[in-house]
Amino acid sequence: MSAAAPIHEIGERSLLPEGTTFNDITESVCRVTETKAPRGWWILFLPSLGLLGLMVACIGYLVTMGVGVWGNNSPNYWAWDITNFVWWIGIGHAGTLISAILFLFRQNWRTSINRFAEAMTVFAVLCAAIFPALHTGRPWFDYYLFPIPNQMAMWPNFKSPLMWDVFAVNTYLTISVIFWFVGLIPDLATLRDRSKSLLRKRIYGALALGWRGSHRHWQHYERAYLIFAAISTPLVLSVHSVVSFDFATSVMPGWHTTIFPPYFVAGAVFSGFALVLTLMLIVRTVFGLQNLVTLKHLDLMNKFMLGTGIMVGYAYAMEFFIAWYSGNPYESWVFFHNRLGFGYLDQQGNWGPLWWSYWAMVSCNVISPQLFWFKKIRTSIPAMFVITIFINIGMWFERFVIIVTSLYRDFLPGSWGSFEATWIDICLYLGTFGLFLTLFLLFVRWIPMFAIAEIKAVLPHAHPHAHHDDEHEHEPHHGAETAPAPAE
Amino acid sequence: MADDKDQPRKKGTLIGVGAPSAEEIAADAAEKAKAAADEASASERIAERAAREAADDEKHVPTKATAKAADEAEDAAEEAELDASAAKAAAEVAKSAAKKAAKASFEGDEAHAKEEAEKAVAAADRAKKAAKAASDAKEQAVTAQKKADHARMTHEGEGDEPEKRPALYLAQYETPEALAEAAKKVRDAGYEKWDCHTPYPVHGLDDAMGLKPTKLGFVSFIAGMTGLVSAVLMIQYMNNWDYPVIIGGKPNGIGGFPAMVPIMFELTILLTGFGTLFGLFHFTKLPRHHHPIFESDRFEASTDDKFFISIEVGDEKFDMKKTRALLESTHPSFVELVEEEVG
């Protein structure tokens, strides 16, 4: 209600340019799906399709040859596969955070980015699911993961964190899809009502389920939305916590840490925001949507990244502190030799050979977002584009560091090894970008990528009461430049 | 007709030679009138039969289209009957005029005979016209009966305009304020089957419409608890009773509770989600792809920037005039009667 009206006394401005009408929003969002794709879209789409083909080829090769074509070895039983899984799942978390948690906190600015981020969640979780499904080695037996009766008359072990993962990730995917779709219904109805051709009308009409904007429906709908937000909030916190249990419940030094669940969740939100922003900057430019995603939105997202970046930095520091404070030599070894490199040297006087991955992580994740302290950087599009890419790289390295640098030199020097990625590791990872981007580009092209109804609802003149509030607020200084938006 | 009148005048005096006498003219007219009357009654019979058949069609397939055709056929048959009786009456007149003309001619009153002959001719004309009308009515009846046949066979109103009946009144408003004010009036007028249609959820409309709070939360809660309980039962059945799995010496029953928590939690969330989705569908009666409100072209703006109130015909208080007057008193930019197709 009045939350939609900016408080001018403390320097707040409307989220969208003053005087934006309902129709402006409908037009600018729907136009994307109704006009021919701009050239920029094709420039992105064709390579994405190529990468998708690469993914399919890699999966075919992997399934034919076996997981030995990956660089995984003894002692690195997990490597890029689980790194990529955790990374992609983390990417998805920003979407749920924006759509659910910011909704509960009444952060109205989320309306310009939530649809977009939710779509990313769904696609990112799909990409993530590929890796654990393949790393079982015989993906055609993956149905063992689910509690279905099978020929061995055995059930899954529900005490295993990996089993929790199966439930967490599948629940997350299902709920994200439902939440996303429910949010889409009114906007699909908008597209249906604007459709000129019968085919479009039929398709959007079928998907809109016969939505007619009835307030008797909105009443239930809003409650449903609230419930989805309320269940997604603990869900998103649980998913990455459960992912972190995969590590934290083991006895590996570097993994066996109680800080993991919050640390993973913060990292997930951090990386998710970064990828949302990277893609948002591109799409905003390609489709000319600067009026819907304003610098104010970008500024707020950058602040989020600064905040979560500091949380992640704190977790890195705390891990070191605990490694030293616990007095556990194996723990210290992992942190000071395997990761930091120079803290402990091995018998030949060498640094931990993968020290560079740790430093890549720290510089990308902790140092680069510090630039967001400056408003100039937070509102500079090229600067934030570069920083978000750094963060994405850094967050990938974080997972690589956690997994590989814990495993490659652990308790017994006799079982030490090293890790080198193979070309199929690299191609499969790149290929999942193909899947993600192809789905994503199809989404921006055919589905309203902004929550039309929700953006309308946060315009200053959207609600009868907001209008009255406006009048009160402006009484002391009427005639100010920032007059209340015109009632339509 | 002018010829018929003129001829006896010119040549009437020459009896039996070439030109017909008034008596002959009258007799001829009476004959023609009788023929017309016969034809008319034949039309009448055909029209009546057609009407009967159409009514039969309607009885077998009681759709709007057959009902309409049967009505048409019946009307046409009635008309044919009227025309036929008019033709008969005219024929009677012509017959008696012809008799009088013959009598006058016999008595040598040529002038009177002529007068009667003229009457007979005029009556014959009327009879012919009536017969023509009867024949037209017959044609109509037959066409209507064919329609009824066709409708019976296709079970629907063919080619012609689809049947429509009023479904709801739709009033359009430009601002949410105007909508909320209007909603209060409609609520206070005591309507039940009415609704507001908005591009986004407008706050304060719940009160303006007098809606009760939604019960969706109960459904979600029950679904969630079902998820929680089924997680416990599933894990206990699979890992404790059916095939006990002992890992690391950890207990399976209540002692192993912490290990059950993540899956209990996830299934609670999962089923709450499904419960909310299907609860939403239940309360909103969606998906429903057909609704008479979509007949209105203006309604397309309801997902863009216009606000609407609809009052359905099914409401007890609905009245074509009063409801319209109520809506017009709320300052809408349009009031429209939306009709839905039937049959």
- Taking the domains of chain B in order of start, what are their residue ranges? 2-154, 165-342
* CA dihedral of A13, A17, A18, A22, whole degrees rounded to 10: -120
Q: Do B239 and A26 touch (CB under 8 A)?
A: no
Residues of B in contact with A23 (CB under 8 A): 304-305
The answer to whether A408 and A419 are in contact (CB under 8 A) is: yes
A231 closest CB neighbour out of B262, B272, B308: B272
Residues of B in contact with A1 (CB under 8 A): 203-204
Confidence of residue B78 (pLDDT cuts 50, 70, 90): confident
Q: Is residue A50 in a domain? A: yes
The answer to whether A83 and A263 are in contact (CB under 8 A) is: no
- Of B70 and A226, the structure prediction assigns the larger pLDDT to A226
Give the Cα separation of B182 and B307 in Å (integer): 11
3-state secondary structure chain A: CHHHCCCHHHCCCCCCCCCCCHHHHHHHHHHHHHCCCCHHHHHHHHHHHHHHHHHHHHHHHHHHHCHHHCCCCCCCCCCHHHHHHHHHHHHHHHHHHHHHHHHHCCCHHHHHCHHHHHHHHHHHHHHHHHHHHHHCCCHHHHHHHCCCCCCCCCCCCCCCHHHHHHHHHHHHHHHHHHHHHHHHHHHHHHHHHHCCCHHHHHHHHHHHCCCCCEHHHHHHHHHHHHHHHHHHHHHHHHHHHHHHHHHHCCCCCCCCCCCHHHHHHHHHHHHHHHHHHHHHHHHHHHHCCCCCCCHHHHHHHHHHHHHHHHHHHHHHHHHHHHHHHCCCHHHHHHHHHHHCCCCCCCCCCCCCCCHHHHHHHHHHHHHHHHHHHCHHHHCCHHHHHHHHHHHHHHHHHHHHHHHHHHHCCCCCHHHCCCCCCCHHHHHHHHHHHHHHHHHHHHHHHHCCCCCHHHHHHCCCCCCHHHHHHHHHHHHHHCCCCCCCCCCC
Give B312's strand partners.
Answer: B168
Lowest mean pLDDT segment, chosen from A260-264, A300-304, B3-7, B160-164: B3-7
Minimal Cα–Cα distance from A258 to chain B, Å?
15
Question: Along the 488 residues of chain A, how does pLDDT read in single tens digits?
Answer: 344 566 666 666 666 777 788 888 888 888 888 888 888 889 999 999 999 999 999 999 999 999 999 999 888 999 999 999 999 999 988 888 888 888 888 888 888 888 888 999 999 999 999 999 999 989 999 999 999 988 888 899 999 999 999 999 999 999 999 999 999 999 999 999 998 889 999 999 999 999 999 999 999 999 999 999 999 999 999 999 999 999 999 988 889 989 999 999 999 989 989 998 998 898 888 888 887 888 888 999 999 999 999 999 999 999 999 999 999 989 988 999 888 888 888 888 888 888 899 999 999 999 999 999 999 999 999 999 999 999 999 999 999 999 998 898 888 888 888 888 999 999 999 999 999 999 999 998 999 988 899 888 888 888 886 444 444 444 444 433 343 444 43
Cα B48 to its chain centre, rounded Å, is: 25
**What radius of gyration do chain B's Cα atoms show?**
40
Q: Is residue A486 in a domain? A: no
* Max CA separation in chain B (angstroms): 142
Q: Is residue A401 in a domain? A: yes
Q: Is residue A402 in a domain? A: yes
- Of B235 and B97, the structure prediction assigns the larger pLDDT to B235
Architecture of domain B2-154: Up-down Bundle (1.20)
Residues of A in contact with B298 (CB under 8 A): none
Residues of A in contact with B302 (CB under 8 A): 193, 212-213
For the cut 80, the answer to whether the pLDDT of residue B5 exceeds it is no
Residues of B in contact with A224 (CB under 8 A): 216, 276-277, 279-280
Tell me the per-residue pLDDT of B41-57, one tens digit each, with 9 for 90 and over: 888 888 888 888 878 77
Confidence of residue B161 (pLDDT cuts 50, 70, 90): low
Q: Do A155 and B243 touch (CB under 8 A)?
A: yes
Residues of B in contact with A155 (CB under 8 A): 238-239, 242-243, 245
For B154, the 3-state DSSP assignment is: helix
For B253, the 3-state DSSP assignment is: coil
Residues of A in contact with B204 (CB under 8 A): 1, 463-465
Is A250 within 8 Å of chain B by CB?
no
Q: Is residue A312 in a domain? A: yes
pLDDT value at residue A488: 36
Is A3 within 8 Å of chain B by CB?
no
Minimal Cα–Cα distance from B50 to chain A, Å?
42
For B335, the 3-state DSSP assignment is: strand
Minimal Cα–Cα distance from B331 to chain A, Å?
15
Interface test with B, best of A201, A223, A246 (most B CBs within 10 A): A223
Is A192 within 8 Å of chain B by CB?
yes
Number of structural domains chain A divides into:
1
Cβ atoms within 10 Å of A465's Cβ, excluding its own: 17
- Of B270 and B117, the structure prediction assigns the larger pLDDT to B270
Interface test with B, best of A204, A219, A237, A239 (most B CBs within 10 A): A219
Domain that holds residue A274: 2-464
Say whether pTM exceeds 0.80.
no
For B312, the 3-state DSSP assignment is: strand
- Of B224 and A100, the structure prediction assigns the larger pLDDT to B224
Give the Cα separation of B266 and A231 in Å (integer): 10
Give the domain CATH number at A319: 1.20.1630.10
